Structure 1
């Protein structure tokens, strides 16, 4: 077997396997990004077309090139659609494995069919073949100029695409703020307590703001009702609870692969000394904490400007969490 006859397919197999190694060991390299683009947008269609049409007379070079890109755009979503109905789902590792198997399998089929073709199509770029493909000698000056402009446009597009891939726009900036039950799950919250009985939750924060952020957490005990006649929230009682804290966190990337891991979590234990139906509000502030008015004699901030914090939390303009707690004697 003359391996030079299959140089393109052998290189394609090698590059597909090389990309797998780059993703696992060097995921942030420019080579991985550039090779990944070809892996998705060119390799699947090229191997499929080469396996389907091994004879030189069946398609010319430009048709093969166009179909390689076009079929890749069709094949990859179909593979993703198939993975969507499997236990693996549409995730990085299953997609990578599926496309690698597809590229390698059809490359081997293409090698087999090319070996048995009467006049096999073997890509080999030389200046003479390039001029022949472009019909350079018989073209007018205008056609030659347009061809040069087209080539420059293609090279420029590839350069711009490479720059965009190597300098991706940062994702949306946001902060994860959550509370969990004492078991570390979103269940078994202390929603029914007796007067003076301790309840415990876990407060969690994760910084996806692309910068260091100092977070301030306030905890308020609130008694409020909804006035349907005026469509307003009426705050009857608003008391600061002990345990306010602040923490500075560095930014962390959003991990969509593997198991979720917390960035910052802390236990928060509280008790309520008055019976009734209460709401425990956890308010989150970034970089600075709003100043509070002087504390009222009875400790109830409901008649002060501090009530605007809860009203904004109710309206969703402040990042906050709420826990409904019924306290019995």
Structure 2
């Protein structure tokens, strides 16, 4: 077979699947969360393309009618499936692939993010599609699956298996609707707005950041070292203001606030920043105070509190004179 002949026999459906996966990846990673185009590109990339590519590997041949199946003595059953069955199984297998990707990615260096998930699904689709091309071209021409919607529809009218084909169409529609409802429920809440994570860390003896590792007992007038982490998952660049307060509480109610520090930072989407702080409480000997870090989008209000902050975290500190002379 010449190169030109190989190109002519290259399966059009698998070429469309490969190109579609690449375009979907570019759209998903280029447009902001909440974009209609990004949402529309997510549907085929997550719900159809990977499954169709896998089906092309598993079933390179088309099905045969009952007469064709019995005309050969050796082969007593069809080796392939038709277009309608491929569409239905494509949805089903795509829904099987997504959880596997979601389980594996968090254990990799790329993590479980929008970009890494889209890249994994696109790469998996392209690799499976090209494997399907090889499998299909090695299948005899008379048995090879070729996209033919007209032939599939004709079966609904005249074939003795029309009832089975019609049920396959219903199955495809049912799976498509269920998959669509699932992906809408998963994506729409995320598209309405992102989130920001705020965390407070101390430092271990070997220099590692440890949650809850902040020194809780100090001498009056000593500084408390701590590290503040801000993770921007808002879907866009965001400016934050962080206010550090010393708070005195009585019966669970804040009765006095002292501002110890305030600073501003701007983070790109999907980035994390850590800031080392050294705050000095004004607590007297034997007094317990709460050190709160309050995060605000943009400028903070005139009276920053834990209640009006977008995010807040805190640690308790006790001031106590040392017994050493």
TM over 0.5: yes
Question: Is residue 179–residue 321 contact of structure 1 (8 Å, CA) maintained in 2?
Answer: no
Deviation (angstroms), 1:46 = 0.9
Task: Count the aligned residue pairs.
Answer: 278
Secondary structure, counterpart of 2:146 in structure 1: coil
Alpha-carbon distance in structure 1 between the residues aligned to 2:54 and 2:172: 26
Residue number in structure 2 paired with 1:50: 56
Question: Is residue 207–residue 249 contact of structure 1 (8 Å, CA) maintained in 2?
Answer: no
Alignment map for 1:198-237 (pairs within 5 Å): 198-202=222-226, 204=228, 218-220=245-247
Question: Is residue 243–residue 268 contact of structure 1 (8 Å, CA) maintained in 2?
Answer: no
Of the two, which has the highest radius of gyration? 1
Alignment partner for residue 146 of structure 2, among 122, 132, 136?
122
Residue number in structure 1 paired with 2:93: 71
Residue number in structure 2 paired with 1:281: 290
Deviations 1:247-304 (A, max 9, x none): 8999x8984xxx5225x98653234443x3x32213578967599xxxxxxxxxxxxx
Distance verdict in 2 for CA 1:248–1:133, change over 3 Å: farther
Deviation (angstroms), 1:8 = 0.9
The farther-off stretch of 97-106 and 318-327 is 318-327
**Do residues 243 (structure 1) and 259 (structure 2) align?**
yes
Residue number in structure 2 paired with 1:103: 125
RMSD: 5.4
Alignment map for 1:37-186 (pairs within 5 Å): 37-57=43-63, 58-83=80-105, 90-118=112-140, 119=142, 120-126=144-150, 129=151, 131-135=153-157, 167-168=188-189, 170=192, 176=198, 178=200, 185-186=209-210
TM-score by length of 2: 0.59
Alpha-carbon distance in structure 1 between the residues aligned to 2:113 and 2:269: 14
Deviation (angstroms), 1:204 = 4.9
Deviation (angstroms), 1:240 = 4.5
5+ residue gaps, structure 1: 139-143, 225-232, 292-308, 313-317
Distance verdict in 2 for CA 1:324–1:85, change over 3 Å: same
Deviations 1:199-218 (A, max 9, x none): 14458596989899998764
Question: Is residue 214–residue 246 contact of structure 1 (8 Å, CA) maintained in 2?
Answer: yes
**Do residues 10 (structure 1) and 32 (structure 2) align?**
no
